[in-house]
Structure formats: structure tokens, C-alpha cells
Amino acid sequence: MEPAIRVRDLRKTFRVAERDAGLGASVRSLVRRRYREVAAVAGVSFDVAPGEVVGFLGPNGAGKTTTLKMLSGLLHPTGGEVSVLGHVPARREKAYLGRITLVMGNRNQLQWDIPALDSFELNRAVYRIPEPEFRRARDELVELLEIGDLVRKPVRTLSLGERMKAEVAAALLHRPQVLFLDEPTIGLDIGAQKRLRGFVAEYNRRHGASVLLTSHYMADVQALCQRVVVIDKGQVLFDGGLRQLTARFSPHQTITVQLAEPGTDLSAFGAVVEAGEGRVSIQVPKAETSAVAGRLLAAHAVTDLTIEDPPIEDVIEQAFSAGRTA
Ligand SMILES: Nc1ncnc2c1ncn2[C@@H]1O[C@H](COP(=O)(O)OP(=O)(O)OP(=O)(O)O)[C@@H](O)[C@H]1O
């Protein structure tokens, strides 16, 4: 099957004017400018299959937004190849723009002083969506996002979470097949984050759309993505399942036991990471987890035992630091 998104050795280098501090430096910089090259994206390759939801992760400044902008045709690559639904994004063909969308959590496209419904009409005209299809899409989005009342109020009177839902509806009226979502849940409270990701999952299921999602909230990633592409300094550090990410970057598991006799020292079994009230957590190499658990149960009166992988946040953090020292 042809991938929906195909990225090969993608690069973007920005040329930024350098200037020292101070007035003298400002004057000198007018005469003779010095430039520095910033390799924001430095050879990124990956595919996204039709209907696949992929998390695109990385620390601040890793190159995520720059990549998404190139994929949606807002920026011209310095090098490499991109193909999305068979189109070259940088050409910004109408046929292409009508099949994708870019949602940026920290930018708004809705007009501030008018109700979202009126902005939806504008989008209908821009995308030349036939009236019956527009109505169907609009009504479906309004229902799924539960924004029937909100879309009649001026956007400036909406809360952040309400506005984000209206933004997402506006971005999906033309029923795009590829969604680039850049921090769509940023700043939203936990409940609103949850509803929005439930919606993305439902849109993906109903319309078989491909989704490339960046988020600093791992709950979004865990709920939506079977696969993640992790980048740092413009390069791919990891591409695969969340489970494999954990296996690769976190070779430990945590065994937590509830002891019948509080105060027992378990440091002989592994690194004690938490202890109190008869509850002790120890970290052990994954390959030894079951053997250590067995020995613990044999040696002590244990009333409860759980084995856990580390939180995905910690795994990602380890992936980043591994990338930095590589
Ligand atoms: N227009 C620009 N001109 C110069 N440098 C830029 C420009 N846009 C981005 N950069 C630089 O490119 C690098 C990657 O930025 P980008 O916004 O793609 O990162 P990001 O992974 O999206 O980060 P964040 O998680 O903070 O949003 C950064 O060092 C940034 O300062």
C-alpha cells in the first residue's frame, strides 16, 4: 500500500542574522551582517500509512513544527523529498490543500468578533465545499464536539477549550484525509484534552484519515498513537511502537510490594525507589523481573505485588538524553 505521507531525508536550514548586544553592534550589523545557519530539520525520513495515527515527539526546538509546516506546504524544504497523498506539498495545489489540514494549538484561524458558524461559512467558500456536503460535515462536527450552542456566540467570548473545539471543527469541515495536529490540546484542562482526543480517534475511525500529532501530553499519545516518531535536533531518534520505545530506552521495571511486616529492607532485591507504610517499590532490570518477584514472594510475607513499566514521560526523557549523548 502506498503511504499517505512519505518523507525522505527532509531538511530545512534557516539562515538567521547574528547580532551582538549593544548599540555599536546594532550599527555594525547594518553595514556588515553575519549569518548563522540553523539546521532545524536535518535529514528526517518516515512514512505514515493511510488511516494511521502517529505521534511526532521531541523536546522544544527539535524540529517538529518546522517538519509539519513543510508537510502542509507552508515552508519550502531546503532538501529531501516529501509526498503527501501523492502531492508535493510545497506546490500548494488547491487539490492538495483541500485534502489536508493543519491545526496549531497556539494559533487561531477563527475570526475573533463573529460566531464560529460564520467563519465556517467562510471556509465553505474558500474550500468550495458543495452546500449539502458542507451541512453534513458541519452538523456531524457540531454534534461530535458538542458545540451546538457555542458556535453561535462570538469567538472572543469562548473559553480556551471551547474555542479549540470550534477551531478543530473549522479545520475539518472540508473532510481532510490527512491531519497535521500541532499541540492541539495545549493549555486545555484534563477533561477538555480527553474529549478532544476522543474526537480525533472518532474522526480517524469514521473517515480513515491519517494523523500526525505532536503533543507534550503523553496521555494524548498513549490514547491515540500505536506508533511514535521521536526526533531531536532535527533527526529521528526512534520510529516504532510505544512498547518498543519502552523496551529500548527503559530496560527497567518497577516491582511494588505491600509487606505484612513494615520496615523490611529489600535493597538486596533491587534499587529501592520508594518506601513507606509497608509499601516498597524497587527497580529491577526487565529480564530479571519475574525471578526477583519469585524470590521476594518466597522470602517475605507479601500481601500485594504489582509490576509496572516506567511512565512513558520518563521513557521519552531517557530517549532524549540518549540522543544527546549519542
Ligand atoms: N523561521 C525561523 N527562523 C529561524 N529559526 C527557526 C525558524 N523556525 C524555527 N526555527 C528554529 O528551528 C529549530 C526547530 O524549531 P521548531 O519550531 O520546528 O521546533 P519544535 O520541535 O516544534 O519545538 P517546540 O516543541 O518548542 O514547538 C529551533 O531551533 C528554532 O529556533
pLDDT digits 0-9 by tens, 124-182: 999 999 999 999 999 999 988 889 999 999 999 999 889 999 999 999 999 999 999 99
Closest ligand 1 atom to 14 CA:
4
Give me the pLDDT at residue 25, please: 72
Give me the pLDDT at residue 325, please: 59
Distance from the alpha carbon of residue 63 to the mean position of ligand 1, in angstroms: 6
Nearest CA to ligand 1 atom 2: 14
236 band by pLDDT with thresholds 50, 70 and 90: very high
Give me the pLDDT at residue 316, please: 84
Class of domain 5-246: alpha beta
| Alpha-carbon distance values, 72 to 87, 110, 136, 286 (Å) | 10, 19, 25, 41
Mean pLDDT along residues 188-193: 85
Distance from the alpha carbon of residue 234 to the mean position of ligand 1, in angstroms: 10
Give me the pLDDT at residue 188, please: 83
Distance from the alpha carbon of residue 181 to the mean position of ligand 1, in angstroms: 16
**Other Cβ atoms closer than 10 A to 201:** 14
Counting residues of the chain whose pLDDT is more than 90, the rounded percentage is: 69
CA gap 287, 284 in Å, rounded: 8
What mean pLDDT is reported for the chain? 91
Q: What is this model's ipTM?
A: 0.96
Residue 26 has pLDDT above 80, yes or no: no
Mean pLDDT along residues 295-320: 88
The domain locations on the chain are: 5-246, 251-308
Closest ligand 1 atom to 63 CA:
18
Mean pLDDT along residues 217-232: 92
CA gap 83, 71 in Å, rounded: 8
Q: Find all residues with CB under 8 Å of 74, minimum gap 6, and list them.
A: 102
Mean pLDDT along residues 100-121: 92
Give me the pLDDT at residue 324, please: 66
CA gap 298, 150 in Å, rounded: 60
Substitution candidate for ligand 1 out of 16, 44, 65, 69 with most atoms within 8 A of CB: 65
pTM of the model: 0.86
Give me the pLDDT at residue 218, please: 87
CA gap 232, 41 in Å, rounded: 9
Q: Which of 234, 229, 259 is nearest to 244 (CA)?
A: 229
Length of the chain: 326
Backbone angles phi, psi at 128, to 5 degrees: 50, 50
Distance from the alpha carbon of residue 262 to the mean position of ligand 1, in angstroms: 51
Closest ligand 1 atom to 15 CA:
4
